[in-house]
């Protein structure tokens, strides 16, 4: 049975206790809901993979209440400290060499010599992490390859009965995952996953970022970056100007004329990329449900700009549209 915990003192204390006891607790962050386990307990981490049906070769992000705790687990460079000061708490994940005394289990780090660390935003989240007092490993709280959850209800749709508890933290303000930046080579900061902090904002502090262009390029660095990911049940068609009558439309911006699509969900009528990011996963989920119920053929997505948060939105939509099933060998999945 999955406990529903509310964001009261008791709820947070119960969630922290469950985590320390090796349980699985989903909790909200400013990006998406994460499925948390004590990163120092390999058995607890193993349960994450089991609950999500996740391939073992995917390393997890460790979450902390503050930067100091994160920097006990990794070898922080001056650039990492500057970025942390600028963007934490917030939607930025830093990949750094693991500290010699790191207590994070090899299973959470997938045996790599690097570790991904992040300090999420949100008072409830911070209170939970502080009370847990250990690094909390947390991938997004969805079954592997499916749409990430941006509310506690989405988590239950995916994982009810498979996890110990979900802590109600309200809807996620940003709505898509953190930006993952690899700083393990200090001379070559590398954008592994676009996300809540824009590439432009990072480049203002780091200079030009290296951006892997193929899956083979990214795979050794970020083994979790499978091409097909965030997949709704219905196929997804991108950059559609004229949707068909048997499609569900994921729209963006003001609509000058009614479309032929059977149903539609506008990510942002005003054309705001921030609003679009926050509504992306909920929109895919809603269209997928309604589309199945009405026997529609696909989800058609209108063109979306690629600057700012648009880059992260494109990344997620490209993955949602990728052919499936995909090869388990990441080298065979070439990024478009």
Footprint on this chain of ligand TXA (rule: CB under 6 A) = 29, 31-32, 34, 58-61, 93, 95, 112, 114-116, 118, 120, 138-140, 177-178, 180, 182, 192-193, 221-225
Of the pair 54, 291, the CB lying nearest ligand TXA is at 54
Instruction: Note the residue count of the chain.
Output: 336
Residue 12 or residue 117: which is nearer to Mg ion going by CB? 117
* Three-class secondary structure of residue 315 per DSSP: helix
Contact 43, 60 (CB under 8 A): no
Nearer to Mg ion, 73 or 140 (CB): 140
274: left (phi > 0), else alpha (psi -120 to 50), else beta? alpha
Write down the least CB distance from residue 31 to Mg ion, Å: 10
Q: Kindly tell me which of 34 and 212 has the beta carbon lying closer to Mg ion.
A: 34
Query: H or E element: which one contains 157?
Result: helix 152-159
Q: How far is the CB of 54 from Mg ion (least distance, A)?
A: 9
Among Mg ion, ligand TXA, none, residue 225 binds (CB under 5-8 Å by kind): ligand TXA
106 or 203: whose CB is closer to ligand TXA? Answer: 106
Q: Residue with CB nearest ligand TXA?
A: 224
Site residues for Mg ion per CB under 5 A: 140
CB-nearer residue toward ligand TXA: 154 or 225: 225
Task: Assign 228 to helix, strand or coil.
Answer: coil
Q: Which of 312, 318, 4, 317 is nearest to 155 (CA)?
A: 4
Residue 254 beta carbon to ligand TXA: minimum distance, rounded to whole angstroms: 30
Choice between 194 and 243, CB closer to ligand TXA: 194
Residue closest to Mg ion, measured at CB: 140
**192 within 8 A of 92, measured Cβ to Cβ:** no
Q: How far is the CB of 49 from Mg ion (least distance, A)?
A: 13
Shortest Å, Cβ 196 to Mg ion: 13
Min dist CB 148 to Mg ion, Å, is 5
Shortest Å distance, C-beta 193 to ligand TXA: 5
What is the spatial order of strands in the sheet that 298-301 belongs to? 236-237, 298-301, 247-251, 263-266
Binding site partner of 107, from Mg ion, ligand TXA, none, Cβ cut-off 5-8 A by kind:
none
DSSP of 83-128:
HHHHH-SSSEEEEEEBPTT--S-HHHHTT-SEEEEE----HHHHHH
Our separate counts of H helices and E strands in the chain read 11, 14
**Residue 77 interacting entry, from ligand TXA, Mg ion, none, C-beta within 5 to 8 Å by type:** none
Region of 243 (left: φ > 0; alpha: ψ -120 to 50; beta: rest) is beta
139 touches 54 (CB < 8 A): yes
């Amino acid at each position: 049975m999955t406990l529903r915990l509310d964001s009261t003192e008791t709820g947070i204390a119960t969630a922290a206790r469950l985590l320390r006891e090796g349980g699985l607790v989903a909790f909200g962050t400013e990006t998406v809901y994460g499925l948390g386990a004590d990163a120092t307990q390999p058995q607890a981490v193993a349960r994450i993979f089991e609950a999500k049906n996740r391939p073992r070769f995917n390393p997890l992000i460790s979450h902390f209440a503050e930067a100091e705790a994160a920097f006990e687990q990794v070898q922080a460079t001056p650039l990492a400290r500057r970025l942390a000061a600028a963007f934490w708490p917030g939607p930025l994940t830093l990949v750094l060499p693991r500290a010699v005394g790191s207590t994070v289990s090899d299973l959470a780090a997938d045996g790599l010599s690097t570790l991904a660390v992040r300090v999420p935003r949100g008072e409830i989240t911070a209170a939970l992490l502080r009370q847990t007092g250990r690094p909390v490993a947390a991938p997004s709280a969805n079954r592997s390859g499916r749409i990430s959850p941006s509310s506690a209800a989405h988590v239950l749709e995916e994982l009810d009965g498979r996890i110990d508890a979900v802590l109600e933290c309200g809807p996620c303000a940003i709505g898509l995952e953190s930006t993952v930046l690899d700083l393990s080579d200090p001379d070559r900061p590398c954008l592994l996953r676009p996300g809540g902090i824009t590439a432009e904002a990072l480049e203002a502090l780091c200079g030009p970022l290296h951006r892997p262009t193929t899956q083979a390029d990214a795979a050794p660095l970020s083994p979790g970056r499978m091409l097909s990911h965030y997949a709704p049940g219905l196929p997804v068609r991108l950059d559609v100007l004229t949707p068909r009558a048997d499609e569900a439309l994921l729209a963006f911006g003001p609509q000058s004329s009614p479309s032929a699509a059977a149903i539609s969900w506008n990510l942002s009528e005003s054309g705001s990329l921030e609003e679009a990011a926050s509504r992306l996963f909920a929109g895919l989920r809603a269209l997928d449900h309604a589309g199945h119920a009405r026997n529609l053929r696909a989800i058609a997505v209108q063109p979306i700009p690629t600057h700012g948060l648009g880059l992260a939105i494109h990344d997620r939509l490209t993955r949602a549209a990728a052919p499936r099933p995909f090869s388990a060998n990441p080298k065979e999945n070439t990024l478009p």
